[in-house]
Chain A
């Protein structure tokens, strides 16, 4: 499904600030994988996603999505197939556009016809249905500017936008970190429901270890730009938080 080979990222090469953010990383993702990624600050988790989405170009390495070579494909063309939620809650939505306008824009992903009307009335019912599933009351705020929403509400909206058209791959970068515990729980359940309902392969970065153990069928641990551990379903089920913390010195 996704095949990354030898991805190598160096920031500011040949300067005093040189920093290897990804160290020849290999990663294979299967059709029904829901992959959790944990690892300390600066481990290279976000960089890994940036390489997959095309935001950053790797120094070398190859990337295939469903047998298509996307190594050199431009970011906006890849994003026709990849849904993404950024670590920064403000990055996923346009603050001066309304909730409806943001959704309409996202609903054109990969199939946009530029000279059609910006907002189609008949799509609104679907938008409302998807927002209502979040349980945050956003379905009643379609005409609000997104800048008026809280960071957590914006992150929830981004989840809906990223999956409005089910992507071939979903990238979640600490997407519940900015939410209060109750909402975080709710958004996590909704995330899982969307992923299984639409059969979307997904990668999720989190610092919440219990979340990492509870969700998904696979767990990666990253450190200093490398994947130091890759655990499958069974291994993951046996694991405890204490072990995870201790074994891999995530938060050392």
Chain B
């Protein structure tokens, strides 16, 4: 039961992060590897702020710093004419040093007090963490849904779909890419901050593999729930993140070690992408 609860909590945390991956990967159509770095940035900023007892402020700062990371990748891509994947890798690499600086050159920080501990004091229940994460997740989804009903949101979607058409409609597509990457990384850093508040410590390697987890969530979600409507697609990402976490938890219970999780993650993504294709080929052959 506690394992299931923990899986739900972690799954929903990763759902927040995966929404950021969804934005860059699916909406903007850009594989953005900044994410591994900006997640850790969110962790680091949040941990440092919490050290000064400014938990909520830390969440806000994490969002800002994440947006800044995305901004840099976006500028590298559009103005610096660096290929999207490389631009992300460069930012991510640079962020490693910056993240270490933020954490005062310590590879990990442990927190005595966090937002989650405070909430638990206020509402003592074993579900208080889950509910808090759910609230944050719903806020993020709500903002995204609202955002995508505006002309700006539509322009962003169109940019990922057909850049030539977007320019011909007098929209600055470079600005859209920069904005989209900023938004995506802001969300990712926010989830990093929540992650730190939840588990009570920050590690310089927390972000490693986040891109793959995000991809897994997006793709596993799409295997089960696809739609043209964006709110449903957001929901699909959440389902994917939960499902992914359940599978990992199940594997752990079966006796796999924590160190095997990265391999399992990679295999899952491969399976989720390739399996549907292979099945289709068999039926159509």
A residues within 8 Å of B by Cβ? 53, 55, 74-77, 79-80, 83-84, 86, 90-97, 101-102, 104-106, 108-110, 112-119, 145, 161-162
Residues of chain B within 8 A (CB-CB) of A117 are 149-151
> Are A114's CB and B158's CB within 8 A?
no
Residues of chain B within 8 A (CB-CB) of A118 are 148-151, 153-154
| Interface residue SS majority, chain A | loop
> Are A115's CB and B161's CB within 8 A?
no
B113 on interface, CB distance cutoff 8 Å: no
The answer to whether A105 and B173 touch (CB under 8 A), given A93-B162, A96-B161, A115-B150, is: no
Residues of chain B within 8 A (CB-CB) of A115 are 150-152
Closest approach, in angstroms, between the C-beta of A99 and any C-beta of chain B? 13
Residues of chain A within 8 A (CB-CB) of B158 are 94, 97, 101-102, 105
Residues of chain B within 8 A (CB-CB) of A92 are 164-165, 168
> Are A105's CB and B172's CB within 8 A?
no
> Are B152's CB and A95's CB within 8 A?
no
Residues of chain B within 8 A (CB-CB) of A77 are 170
Measured in the bound complex, the distance between the Cα atoms of B151 and A107 in whole Å is 11
> Are B169's CB and A108's CB within 8 A?
yes
> Are B151's CB and A97's CB within 8 A?
no
Q: Which of B148, B151, B157, B228 has its CB near the most chain A CB atoms (within 10 A)?
A: B151
Q: Which of A77, A90, A108 has its CB near the most chain B CB atoms (within 10 A)?
A: A108
Q: Which of A55, A74, A114 contacts B151 (CB 8 A)?
A: A114
Give the size range of B's interface with the partner: 20 to 34
Closest approach, in angstroms, between the C-beta of B23 and any C-beta of chain A? 15
Measured in the bound complex, the distance between the Cα atoms of B158 and A105 in whole Å is 9
Measured in the bound complex, the distance between the Cα atoms of B151 and A94 in whole Å is 15
B residues within 8 Å of A by Cβ? 148-155, 157-158, 161-162, 164-173, 228
> Are B169's CB and A114's CB within 8 A?
no
Measured in the bound complex, the distance between the Cα atoms of B168 and A162 in whole Å is 8
> Are A74's CB and B150's CB within 8 A?
no
| Nearest-CB residue, chain B, relative to A74 | B172
Closest approach, in angstroms, between the C-beta of A50 and any C-beta of chain B? 11
> Are A105's CB and B154's CB within 8 A?
yes
Q: Which of B155, B157, B162, B169 contacts A91 (CB 8 A)?
A: B162
Closest approach, in angstroms, between the C-beta of A156 and any C-beta of chain B? 15
The answer to whether A105 and B168 touch (CB under 8 A), given A115-B150, A118-B149, A118-B150, is: no
> Are B162's CB and A94's CB within 8 A?
yes
Closest approach, in angstroms, between the C-beta of B243 and any C-beta of chain A? 25
Q: Which of B148, B153, B157, B170 contacts A109 (CB 8 A)?
A: B170
Q: Which of B152, B153, B164, B228 has its CB near the most chain A CB atoms (within 10 A)?
A: B164
Measured in the bound complex, the distance between the Cα atoms of B162 and A114 in whole Å is 18
Residues of chain B within 8 A (CB-CB) of A119 are 154
> Are A79's CB and B169's CB within 8 A?
yes
The answer to whether A76 and B151 touch (CB under 8 A), given A91-B164, A94-B165, A97-B161, is: no
Measured in the bound complex, the distance between the Cα atoms of B188 and A77 in whole Å is 32
> Are B150's CB and A97's CB within 8 A?
no
> Are A76's CB and B173's CB within 8 A?
yes
Residues of chain B within 8 A (CB-CB) of A101 are 154, 157-158
Measured in the bound complex, the distance between the Cα atoms of B149 and A106 in whole Å is 16
The answer to whether A91 and B151 touch (CB under 8 A), given A109-B170, A112-B170, is: no
Measured in the bound complex, the distance between the Cα atoms of B170 and A162 in whole Å is 11
